[in-house]
Amino acid sequence: MKTADNITIIINITADGSQKSKEILSHYLYPIISEHPKMIFNPENINQVLMEKFNLSERERQVLNGMIRGLQNNEIADQLFISVSTVKYHSRKIFEKLNISNRNQIINRIHDI
């Protein structure tokens, strides 16, 4: 199984944002990222790729970074000081630009670049 597949599974399992989900992220996802520091998961790399490849706005990149970190819509909204409906709007635009249908496909799509 590819690293990207493992990460997608972890994101699917932890989408609820519960304490158990956070423990799973700490135990499984963060070690994968730390083992591959030059991978796309570096926030600087993510922003650069998104800027060049998908023509995302600054706000779309911020929302996407929240999704990649496993935050729920309400958590992203709180961090960015915007409404949940605005997060959902930006999410739809992100999905259109990345040609995906849900946040579970984000990591695989970025890895396909």
Q: Which of 83, 79, 110, 78 is nearest to 94 (CA)?
A: 110
How many separate domains does the chain show? 1
SS3 state at 19: helix
- For residues 71 and 27, the model is more confident at 71
Structural domain that includes position 33:
3-111
- Identify how many contiguous H helices and E strands the chain contains and give both numbers: 8, 0
Mean pLDDT value across residues 20-34? 68
Q: Mind listing the pLDDT tens digit for each residue in 67-107?
A: 888 899 999 999 999 999 999 999 999 999 989 998 888 87
Contact 107, 76 (CB under 8 A): no
| pTM summary value | 0.60
Question: Left (φ > 0), alpha (ψ -120 to 50) or beta: where does 70 sit?
Answer: left
Residue 8: give its domain's CATH number.
1.10.10.10
